[in-house]
Amino acid sequence: MAHNSTLGELLRSQGVSRRAFLKFCTTTASVMALPATLVPVMADALEQVRRPSVIWLSFQECTGCTEALTRSHAPTLENLIFNFISLDYHHALQAASGRAAEAAREEAMRENAGKYLLLVDGSIPTVKAYSTIAGISNLDMLMDSAPNAAAIIAVGTCAAYGGLPMAAPNPTSAVSVSDLIKDKPIINIPGCPPIPLAMTGVLAHYLTLGTLPALDALGRPLAFYGDTIHDRCYRRPFYDRGLFAKTFDDEGARKGWCLYKLGCKGPVAYNACANVKWNQGVSFPIQSGHGCIGCCEPGFWDNGGIYESIARGQFGTGPTMGVAAMVGAGVGAGAALAARSKKEQAAAAHRAAE
């Protein structure tokens, strides 16, 4: 399981030009909010880096996180990422199975002790019998793989917060990665599924600079989770004017008015969906006509119905949602005040985390 080739050598052997590689580095630096002066530094560093071993563990999950990454458009960031890592273990993508698969994981851990990156998607059932791989419980596999990892990336809401398996009554006693691992750097990349660029951007940052990107109070990279979807939403002007769709087929919906009254959680959901988008930057849920369900936030599955407005649901606590409740979901001014209060609280948490 040697990883002797540098990324530069590998890319050249596959016909990737220097121009294309620099474009990749420029885009990565931009989305990670890094200064332009770091582009040549990133390029030089990535060209010389030896491909690190990556072990990807999948537990209680739907495979959506893997689907998001593998279905990303070619030949840019999301595909290049597989050129500068050595994906040594992944249930869905590896050719090996059974004993051969577990032997690959054990060999990668042994040969790259202290250096490999551990990616985890899916929550971990603490009732061991609910989910096993090759006869090994998810809990035991995580606790066996984590001690010698250089860093851990919790991919998707299930790994980051517990996700849908943790929803009440939580029959498997599911927990998140950070509930179990306390002595390793952990980056949370929540979402159902996360934006592929968030996954690849974090990996590129770590491989280039050898450090974790700036994180918020929930361990999420600020480059992708620093603003609410509401802040960047193209429907925001309608929100500010108090123009809301009341059903999915009324005049407001046809004119693209704000979906707040139809349950959109954009004002309290921190993610880059509105500006990075999906499918080669074509669209995101709100642009497709459906409100944000807040899947990047902890406990979204138990915070009220998808089509309940924030004021009637359980997103947030205290004065933030109290204001919205008093004025009602239909009053634009009250909604704006609630969103502003939530944003100020999150900004304070971000500053405290830094």
**Which domains does the chain carry?**
7-224 (3.40.50.700), 229-353 (4.10.480.10)
pLDDT at 352: 59
The answer on pLDDT for 218 being more than 50 is yes
pLDDT at 279: 79
Quickly list H helices, the chain: 7-13, 18-31, 38-48, 64-70, 77-80, 98-111, 138-145, 156-161, 177-180, 196-209, 222-225, 229-232, 236-240, 251-254, 273-276, 319-327, 332-353
Report, as an integer, the average pLDDT of 293-311.
88
In the chain, what percentage of residues exceed pLDDT 70?
81
pLDDT, tens digit (0-9, with 9 covering 90-100), for 303-316: 888 888 876 555 44
162-192: string of b/e by CB count within 10 Å (b at 16+)? Answer: bbbbbeeebebbbbbbbeebeeeebbbbbbb
The answer on pLDDT for 259 being more than 50 is yes
The answer on pLDDT for 144 being more than 50 is yes
Q: Which residue has the higher pLDDT, 197 or 251?
A: 251
Q: What are phi and psi of 267, to 5 degrees?
A: -65, -20
Report, as an integer, the average pLDDT of 246-255.
94
Determine how many CB atoms are found less than 10 A away from the CB of residue 99: 9
Q: Which residue has the higher pLDDT, 212 or 116?
A: 116
Annotated binding site for [3Fe-4S] cluster: 273, 292, 295
331 pLDDT band (50/70/90 cuts)?
Answer: very low
pLDDT at 349: 55
Structure tokens at 150: 């250089």
278 pLDDT band (50/70/90 cuts)?
Answer: confident
Give the DSSP H/E element, type plus range, for residue 55. strand 53-58
Give the DSSP H/E element, type plus range, for residue 120. strand 117-121
Report, as an integer, the average pLDDT of 106-123.
94
Closest to 259 measured CA to CA, from 199, 306, 212, 194: 306
234 pLDDT band (50/70/90 cuts)?
Answer: very high
Structure tokens at 10: 């590998």
pLDDT, tens digit (0-9, with 9 covering 90-100), for 52-90: 889 999 999 999 998 887 766 533 444 555 666 788 899
Residue 77, classified by CB atoms within 10 Å of its CB into exposed (0-12), middle (13-18) or buried (19+), is buried
pLDDT at 86: 82
What letter does residue 90 receive in the DSSP assignment?
A: -
pLDDT at 318: 33
pLDDT at 9: 75
* Neighbouring residues of 334: CB distance < 8 A, sequence distance ≥ 6: 311, 323, 324, 326, 327, 328
CA distance 49 to 346: 36
Annotated binding site: 62, 65, 158, 192, 230, 233, 258, 264, 273, 292, 295
295 pLDDT band (50/70/90 cuts)?
Answer: very high
CA distance 211 to 216: 15
The answer on pLDDT for 338 being more than 60 is no
CA distance 155 to 196: 10
Q: Are strands 124-125 and 174-175 parallel, antiparallel or unpaired?
A: antiparallel
Annotated binding site for [4Fe-4S] cluster: 62, 65, 158, 192, 230, 233, 258, 264
pLDDT at 324: 36
CA distance 204 to 198: 10
Q: 188 with 270: CB under 8 angstroms?
A: no
Q: 91 with 99: CB under 8 angstroms?
A: no
Closest to 128 measured CA to CA, from 98, 97, 94, 173: 173
Query: What average pLDDT does the structure give for the chain?
Result: 82
CA distance 43 to 208: 8
pLDDT at 341: 56
The answer on pLDDT for 124 being more than 90 is yes
280 pLDDT band (50/70/90 cuts)?
Answer: confident
The answer on pLDDT for 118 being more than 70 is yes
What letter does residue 300 receive in the DSSP assignment?
A: G
Rg, the chain, Cα only: 21
117 pLDDT band (50/70/90 cuts)?
Answer: very high
Closest to 176 measured CA to CA, from 129, 230, 226, 138: 138
pTM of the model: 0.79
